[in-house]
Structure 1
Amino acid sequence: KQFYQEKIEKLKRGDELQAGVIKLVKVYIAMKRKLSVGDKMAGRHGNKGVIAKIVPEEDMPFLPDGTPVEIVLNPLGVPSRMNIGQLLETHLGWAGKVLGLHFSSPVFDGAREEQIKDLLRQADARLREQGLPPMVNVMGKTILYDGLTGEPFDEPVTVGYIYMMKLLHLVDDKIHARAIGPYSLITQQPLGGKAQFGGQRFGEMEVWALEAYGAAYTLQELLTAKSDDVAGRSRIYEGIVNGNYDFEPGVPESFSVLMRELQGLCLDVELLTGKEE
């Protein structure tokens, strides 16, 4: 009991102050942030993504009755992740809006395909009864019109109502730049992350992209002088200062680490330079 009492007392007291600090004042400020390009949003089906573009309302695609859509999602995000729930939610949302109903669709006992189709039929019939133009068909699609030209798009588009949530990954908090900063002691590569004042990771897929473009010199620079070629880092700096732009890359430190690993496995591996051949 005494042990837990001490813990509770510690929580009540708050932070343990550093030596020499008499009083610590913390001020928390709440901010309102408008959505901007690069902010992250997500639906209820793991369908997360970043905002690619924000356009004026009059430039958004619009329905046959002139109503502009509020958000456009990339259809390529559906087949690869196989989260079809987002489409069903879109259809149910449309039917619920037209019919004035709220639906509860539990995870393992949600609305069936036929039920959704039936509700879309009812929604279509309701609009016709009210003398309004029919918009979304039984498949949950409608013809959208380009907000810039006013021309209809070639194919019908799925339209409806969904929940979209703003995530905490805001671009204003993520923006980061680095010149010269800390390096990892083992690999000699720049550290990762904004908190460590690290570099931007250039991963496998990014390397493949530059290979596909044939950008050999850019790739060479990224994988040597801008990363873990210790000697090359110094040489390129000296060259820039002296106005000499002939750069010869050295051996990346990560290759040396790999060799040490193999030698640790009792494999006799040595690097032969061009001169030794």
Structure 2
Amino acid sequence: PWFDDDDKNGQVQKLFAEYKNTINEIENDLRTEKHKLMIGDELPPGIVQLAKVYVAQKRKLKVGDKMAGRHGNKGVIAKIVPVEDMPFLPDGTPVDIVLNPLGVPSRMNLGQIFETTLGWAGRVLDKYYATPVFDGASYDEILEELNQAGLPTTGKMKLYDGQTGEEFAQEVSLGYIYMMKLSHMVDDKIHARSIGPYSLITQQPLGGKAQFGGQRFGEMEVWALEAYGAAHTLQEILTYKSDDVQGRTKVYETIVKGDNLPEPGRPESFNVLVKELQGLGLDIKVD
């Protein structure tokens, strides 16, 4: 016995029993994991051994690659310019990356702006900040850090155009943030199609790179071409390049012969709609 008190001895014995049970569970888990490693994964039938080869590629950032900060502020690279053409600070330091301010208001992720400003103060003061979720730095605390660093409390500074050397009209928010490269790279996504597979039902091109499909032209894209006045371009997108079965077969011949394009026919998707309505018992005839 450990103590004269029976209750205390009982508690000690209970602790020992729990300890032994825990040790046994851990040892069982270890044996199971070891066994899994010894026998390996279950292979498909007819395969005795399987070798997997992973090929690593080194890819530098390029236009079209995707990057993101820590606040859901993702986006693709629109332009890469020589460092001497980047906007620069009054002391001549060029900026590394320029973000569009229109990406902030509608998404309401102001954390990226706070991170930018606090990062600037941290850089000057040589300090690191921990800002946990729901317990981050307040606006006043960030202002205090900016004051200590001797930086403008607006978090903004005058920048100069790297190409002309002229001062920008407005001050610009600047600072230091984490930016990460995402796995969505333009080399994997680039895709083009002239002709290819069509859906059996709608007779429209399939979607996606894997199916060698076409680009979806939705309502908003239609409005854009309508607003631009590109009526004939829009017509060929919605007919010859999509589900006008008769039209698209004649187009090649007319182009080769140098004739005018045939009048667009009826899109197959409209025929599908008519058949669906007839299936509901509506007697629809198209003149």
With structure 2 as the length reference, what TM-score do the two structures score? 0.82
- Amino acid corresponding to residue 135 of structure 2 in structure 1: D
Give the Cα separation in 1 of the matches to 2:268 and 2:49: 47
- Structure 2: which amino acid aligns with 1:197? F
Match of 2:273? 258
Q: 1:199-238 CA distances to partner (integer Å, 9 max, x unpaired)?
A: 1222222211111110000000000110111111112122
Residue 257 of structure 1: how far off its partner (Å)? 2.0
TM-fit CA distance, 1:110: 1.1
Bigger radius of gyration, 1 or 2?
A: 2
Mapped to 1, the partners of 2:178 and 2:43 lie a distance apart of 39
1:157-236 pair list within 5 angstroms: 157-236=172-251
Greater helix share, 1 or 2? 2
Whole-Å separation in 1 of the counterparts to 2:127 and 2:252? 67
Alignment CA distance shift 1:24-1:178 (3 Å): farther
| Unpaired stretches in structure 2, ≥5 consecutive residues | 1-31
Q: 1:107 to 1:266 in 2, by over 3 A?
A: farther
What percent identity do the matched residue pairs reach?
69
Is the deviation greater in 231-240 or in 253-262?
Answer: 253-262
Q: Which moved more, 1:150-159 or 1:237-246?
A: 237-246
Equivalent residue, structure 1, for 2:22: none
- Superimposed CA distance per residue, residues 79-135 of structure 1 (whole angstroms, 9 cap, x where no aligned partner): 1211111101101111111111111112211111111111111111xxxxxxxxxxx
- Which residue of the other structure, out of 113, 119, 122, is the alignment partner of 1:87? 113
1:185 Cα deviation from its structure 2 partner = 1.1
Give the TM-score normalised by the residue count of structure 1. 0.85
Q: Which amino acid aligns with 1:205?
A: M
Alignment correspondent of 1:139: 154
Give distance in 2, aligned partners of 1:186 and 1:179: 20
The one-letter code sitting in structure 2 at the alignment partner of 1:119 is E
CA–CA distance in 2 between the matches of 1:117 and 1:261?
A: 64
- Aligned with 1:41: secondary structure? strand
Contact 2:255/2:261 (CA < 8 Å) preserved in 1? Answer: no
Q: In the alignment, is residue 103 of structure 1 matched against residue 120 of structure 2?
A: no
Q: Identify the structure with bigger relative contact order (alpha carbons < 8 Å, sequence gap 6+).
A: 1
Q: Which residue of 2 aligns with 1:48?
A: 74
| Cα distance in 2 between the residues matched to 1:97 and 1:209 | 45
- Aligned counterparts of 1:15 and 1:163: Cα–Cα separation in 2: 42
Equivalent pairs counted in the alignment come to: 253
Q: Distance in 2 between matches of 1:46 and 1:197?
A: 30
Match of 1:151 in 2: 166
1:63 is aligned to 89
Partner in structure 2 of residue 77 of structure 1: 103
Matched, 1:115 2:130: no
1:16 to 31, 40, 44: 44
* Matched residue SS, 2:40: helix
SS at match of 1:260: helix
Aligned to 1:128: none
C-alpha distance in 2 between matches for 1:220 and 1:249: 8
Distance, in Å, in 2 between the alignment partners of 1:63 and 1:15 is: 60
CA distance in 2, matches of 1:15, 1:262: 50
Letter in 1 for 2:40: K
Which secondary structure does the structure 2 equivalent of 1:199 belong to? Answer: coil
Aligned amino acid, residue 116 of structure 1? I
CA RMSD of aligned residues (A): 2.1
Q: CA deviation at 1:268?
A: 3.1
Note closer, same or farther for the CA distance 1:95–1:190 as it changes in structure 2 (3 Å cut).
same
